[in-house]
Structure 1
Amino acid sequence: MSSASKEFPGLRFDPTPGLVPAIGQLAEKVRQAAGQLGTVRAELERTLRDPGAWTGLAGASCHDAVQGIYPEVWIMHDALNGVDHTLGEWSYLLAEYQRSRTTLEAQAVAARARVKEAKANPDVDLGFTEIVTRSGGDLEALLQRHGLAKQAVDRAEDELEGIIKAAEGLKKQHDESAGTFAKQIRGFADHLPDRNTMTPAGSSTIPPYFTKPPVNREDTGPKREFDVTDPTAKDQATRLAAKAMVAGQDAYFDNPRAASYMKNWLEGNGQDVQFDAKELINQNPALQKLVTQTILSAGPKGSFDTGWQQGSIYHDMKAPESAGSQKQLLDWYYTMNGYQYRIVGSDFKMVDGKPVGQVRVDIYKRYNWGNPEGGVPRGDIKGVPQNDLARLNETGLAHDFDIVGSTTFYAAPQPGS
């Protein structure tokens, strides 16, 4: 008998292998390393922001050297944090799988006992002698008992087979999740960000005059408040499904931005998340066209402000000019879909019949799910009702937050335009 059969006499195999404590120990080591790098990162940030710390030629040279080192520390710190959080997610999911395994094993042990008991009935197996030596009503009663005994065996075996199939389904789910998390962890090493594309997420990204739009009616109300309702077992299951979505978006669908924002929703503290609005514009041809049209139509006025307007990645994806940009826009779609934008132009002048001046584009998105306060319902995401996801904020299992971004650039006609 194999070791798995000895350890799991009911199922006869282990559908969810893995040692949760060992994963926790590994995560702790990674967390310690990340903490050390985090201390270095914070110190470098503090020093770089202190102009008085750099004086003279030597000071300027040291500043340049530290500024060159800092992105590498930033990258490694984020990568280790990512590994730590991913190990934590896998540990949590594995524990859930193994709780299901415990239940199935207990059911299988009981089912095997019923099969054994049913097969022990002497009426199950009839010998030739028993049949030929009986006749009439005695034989009919014997055959009836035999039929009932066989039915009892079949029922018990069918029940056991159903439990085994459920365990096999659990194993498939476990193995797919393990592969996803392994790929995600490898990705932190194999796909480190290009330091030349990194932009600091400090106050310079969002200007001090950035003002959020008025709150949408559907984003207010008792059901939109944070941590005001006790979570139910269904809420815990929904959170587990959301964690699986994070892994799926990152590994299966290659939507790392959508995965990271949903992960922040599940683990964050509700603080604003800043992003580079320039990146959204560069990857969204429909939004580029809208900004250009606004400049051409409003620029001749000298200065302009569109105020906050409604945008939709879904509609941007459908625009003819977005053909060929579907993959990158799909990541944005799962990240923020409906968003608000504001285009502000200042000090525009007409040069050769074209408006030239400074433009600022502000982007805002309230990251939440569902529409629990009523209105038009939203569809399911990967089979999970969005209103069920929305409840996670209400129960404190997730935390809604604001996505904010802004970019300023000088608009001038391209040569030959």
Structure 2
Amino acid sequence: MNIVILGAGQAAASMAAKLRALGHQGQITVIGDEAAPPYQRPPLSKAYLLGDMGLDRLTLRGSEWWDEQGITLRLDERATAIDRDRRAVLTDRGEYPYDALALTLGASPRRLPDALGGSLPGVHVVRNLADIARVKPGLLPGRRLVVVGGGYIGLEAAAVARKLGLEVTLVEAAPRILGRVAAPETATMIRDLHHAHGVEIVEGTAIARITGEAQADGVMLADGRHLPADLVICGIGIAPETALAEAAGLVLDNGIATDAQGRTSDPAIWAAGDCASFPVPEGRMRLESVGNAIDMAEAVAANILGVGADYVPKPWFWSDQFDAKLQIAGLNSGFDRVVTRPGAGAHGGSVWYFRDGRLIAVDALNDARAYMIGKRLIESGRSPTPEAVAEASELKALM
């Protein structure tokens, strides 16, 4: 069987490795539009941007590994179409026939519209190596940065810039940071962390536009205030890459829609990672995380080879900001109660999410023990009561 993997990120690398580990002897071709081989994305806005990690450590596999595994890497090559009738991927350099095609296309950063100044020089996003190469020269001590968006990407960029000595203001249009992804208690811990490091956070205020003519020179807020800036970083979320799938006539639903095994509406085409949505009891889900990219890609690899097992996600996430690590287990959607526990340090603690009395997620800031115990409880299907979490003198007793 000739397998083509379109997209060359974390999910692609994990899928290719799993196919070989499971004994697939046929051809595997990985096609990506970046010049670099598959690399980790999370450190881009953290250690790599800070200069603490080089490209060699960012890269997932050395070139010799791909050769040893007999996997063809086609880099710096842009796919232009999927011909489902002929079972071929068309690129700007040729075409690749397939027996099975896997779409691991990832996601792209959302950008501010041109009418709001989103395309001005000096306005940046941080998603890939080229983005970092553009923004890094401007991150100089004493310069003024405005970050638009109070999600994890925006907060991580603000933390790195502050560590590099910039004056940083973060603007969030929603009433508070992390409004879509975390409880107010977690947002308070993160806000306090940023304030302690000198980041100014403006919440509940939309931006009217980015100002400047030849170059961005500030951000005009909807309330009339003007924030001077030498550069602007937009961290307003990502959108799944679906253009090729849509043009090929595949069903979309918050990404490329798959069945429980990762198969799209075309039985010869599969999808995994940030670009794919899959069924869960509550409806459909799309997870934007390294954990999901790896786990779903490996599950799909097995199913391409005929295992026929449904993918069951075990969500986990993390975010590094300043010297703090936020670790998240589970999904907090639909929570109706939270329990907080203090941590050992000045900036730390844990937030435990419950729905109908059942533990569904844990946020742990600088509290690895709470994270590990919460993760084990959630993944094993065991749930302490909210009262037990609140009152336990030692978390291990919850096990």
**TM-score, structure 2 normalization:** 0.22
Say which structure, 1 or 2, has more relative contact order (CA 8 Å, 6+ apart).
1
Who wins on radius of gyration, i.e. which is larger? Answer: 1
More strand by share: 2
